[in-house]
Structure 1
Amino acid sequence: MTVQKPPVKEEGLTEENTSRPNRFLLFWEYSKKDLMSVVYTILAVGLFLSIWELLGYYNVLKEPQFFRPSVIFAQTWVLTKSGEIFIHIFSSLARLLISFSLAAIFGLLIGLLMGRYKAVKAFFDPLVTFFIPIPGIAWAPLIFVWVGVEPLFSRWGLIDSTSWWWKFGLGNPVLIIIGTIAGIFPVIQNINMAVRTADKKLIWAAQTMGASNNYIFRKVLLPNSLPFLFTGFKLGLARSWRTIIATEFLSAAMEGLGYFIFFNRTLETRLTRINIYVGIFVLSVVFYVIELGLKYLERITIEKYGMVRKGGESL
């Protein structure tokens, strides 16, 4: 008696397994963990605000020191409809974008060179160790002495109050310089650590096959540095953001969330005190959104280079 084997489906290049993945499903796969993180954040913040609202309603937390969240949200909506708050948001974000871009580019370059060449590490390592404990805001008085508080480009007659540079609060490079200094050192430190701890066997294998230094940088060191790279980016971004907001308190900038908070502090009215809470709330929400975007970029980049499997599992 002959036993017939069940037919085996041949695997080949069929329409089913060669079709491009659904973009929505791919986006959903990458975003599930981020979505749950947002849900937990909303629940935690919602509970905190509910308790705060109840304490304010029963006069445990009294005005004018404390305002209920409902009052703060109502004023936030008023400033949103008028568009006033967006001017300050865009000004601070523009400064952050320029300053952190400079910090990321130069920090990445210096960190890679420090990790690759002992002479470069011997030169920069004491400088990084010396400067990294200094808070970014501590540089403000010194930079003001060098450059001045008044917007530098307007003092030179290069721009005036009608230019778009001025409208976005970029007339004074002091804020950008201080933001760059604050953000560059965490990037340098983490990239240097990533390169120093990279698998030497991969580098030796590439050198044995005749790979150039440029190829080793791009194909070996950089992909292996991605987890440390994004850690440095997140630390540097947070430091740049805090420093820019704090420096806006002190500078002659007429736009920015830091300026908005400090300006309302000087007027001492009920409405301006509410605006202080609005400014703090808005800058927290803005940076939280930036952090979510960076986490999403980190996940898809690391998965692309094979550092983790899809779904976030480490290799």
Structure 2
Amino acid sequence: MLKRKAALAAIPIVIFLLGWEALSRGSLLNPYLFPPPTTILMELGNLFMKGMPAQSALLMHVGMTLWRVLLSVVLGIVAGVIVGVAMGLNRAVYSFFDPLITVLMPIPGIALAPLFIVWMGFGNQTIVSLGVLSAFFPVVYTTVAGVRSVDPQLVRAAQMMGSRPIGVVLNVYLPWAATYVFNGVKLGLARCWMTIIAVEFVAASNWGMGYMIWNAAENLRADVVYGGILLLIVIYFILEKALINRLESRTIARWGMIRQA
């Protein structure tokens, strides 16, 4: 059943790509602006082979972007959960952080890039810092919502059994809020992914998917631009489905508190 659904979903994509290939090969579409999909895949292959066997240019770009994204997401999650739990449990902490988060959260990371470049210069410091901010805000808000949704009876039961405050947080609040936190993680990953790629356009010095796409655009290499965009789609899909979703299901199954946010 699942295979049939996947096949049906793939049919429109295949028809679109075949139509694109035919129109581009027949010059009904400008092949410089809309290169055939086969040409795009061949150019990706060339980038992959360039520098082999020691270093693949394509793998270097992908690896650098993934390192920046994963580091940013991990730091953003840790900070977001800590601040979110504190905000959910303490009104004073909530009153202090909420106005700051409300003001800063709507600002796109790329809009802050010039300011961070002035502060930190070009390179990983600026890119990762903006990625951390992008991942931080959604995790904070969903963690606060999860902590505030905890059944008070569970808290009282844990306290009556002699659990210390840190034990209550680790054994009651966090397991209960797990699905909320992972909703924030998914949003944070998406925001961080977009921010890292966009900031790489202007702040990366030599490596990164955003740098590769921007450099190709400056050199009028539409085939590399399309190939880079295709890779962004595929890599993000793998990150969310193969990494985040599996981590979510295993964490919730282990902690044993399944709640729908």
Normalised by the length of structure 1, the TM-score is 0.74
- Matched to 1:286, the amino acid is I
Pair 1:282-2:255 in alignment = no
What aligned pairs does 1:137-176 form with structure 2 within 5 A after superposition? 137-149=110-122, 151=123, 172-176=124-128
The residue type paired with residue 176 of structure 2 is: N
Superposition deviation, residue 210 in structure 1 = 2.5
Matched, 1:301 2:251: yes
User: What do residues 14-70 of structure 1 show as CA deviations (whole Å, max 9, x unaligned)?
Assistant: xxxxxxxxxxxxxxxxxx98x888767655543443343344345443322212212
Q: Within 2, Cα distance between the matches of 1:51 and 1:229?
A: 42
Count of aligned positions: 254
Structure 2, gaps ≥5 residues long = 51-55
Whether 1:52 and 2:2 are equivalent positions in the alignment is no
SS at match of 2:41: helix
1:134 aligns with 2:84: no
Partner of 1:8 in structure 2?
none
Distance across 2 between alignment mates of 1:92 and 1:37: 32
Whether the aligned pair in 1 keeps the contact of 2:105 and 2:137 (CA below 8 Å) is: yes
Aligned to 1:66: 34
Report the equivalent of 2:182. 230
Query: 2:53 aligns to what?
Result: none
Q: CA RMSD in A?
A: 2.3
Q: 1:242 maps to which residue?
A: 194
Q: Which has the higher helix share?
A: 2
State how 1:177-256 maps to structure 2 within 5 Å. 177-256=129-208
Aligned with 1:81 (options 49, 57, 61): 49
Answer whether contact 2:34 2:222 (CA < 8 A) is retained: no
TM-score after normalising by structure 2? 0.88
CA displacement 1:83-119 (0-9 Å, x = unmatched): 2110100111111122111111111100011111111
**Residues 218-268 of structure 1, C-alpha deviations (whole Å, 9 max, x = no match):** 111111111111111111111111111111111142000100011111112
Larger radius of gyration: 1
Deviation digits for residues 145-198 of structure 1, max 9, x if unmatched? 21223x5xxxxxxxxxxxxxxxxxxxx311111111111101101101111112
Does the 8 Å contact 1:128/1:189 carry over to 2?
A: no
User: SS at 1:173's partner residue?
Assistant: helix
Check 1:40–1:290 CA distance in 2 against 1; reply closer, same or farther (3 A cut). farther
Structure 1: stretches of 5+ with no match in the other structure: 1-31, 152-171
8 Å contact kept, 1:191–1:228: yes
Q: Could you tell me which residue of structure 2 aligns to residue 16 of structure 1?
A: none
State the alpha-carbon separation in 2 of the partners of residues 134 and 214 from structure 1. Answer: 34
Assess if the C-alpha contact under 8 Å between 1:98 and 1:176 holds in 2. Answer: yes
Q: Does 110-119 or 63-72 show the bigger shift?
A: 63-72
Paired residue type of 2:114: P
The amino acid across from 2:105 in the alignment is I
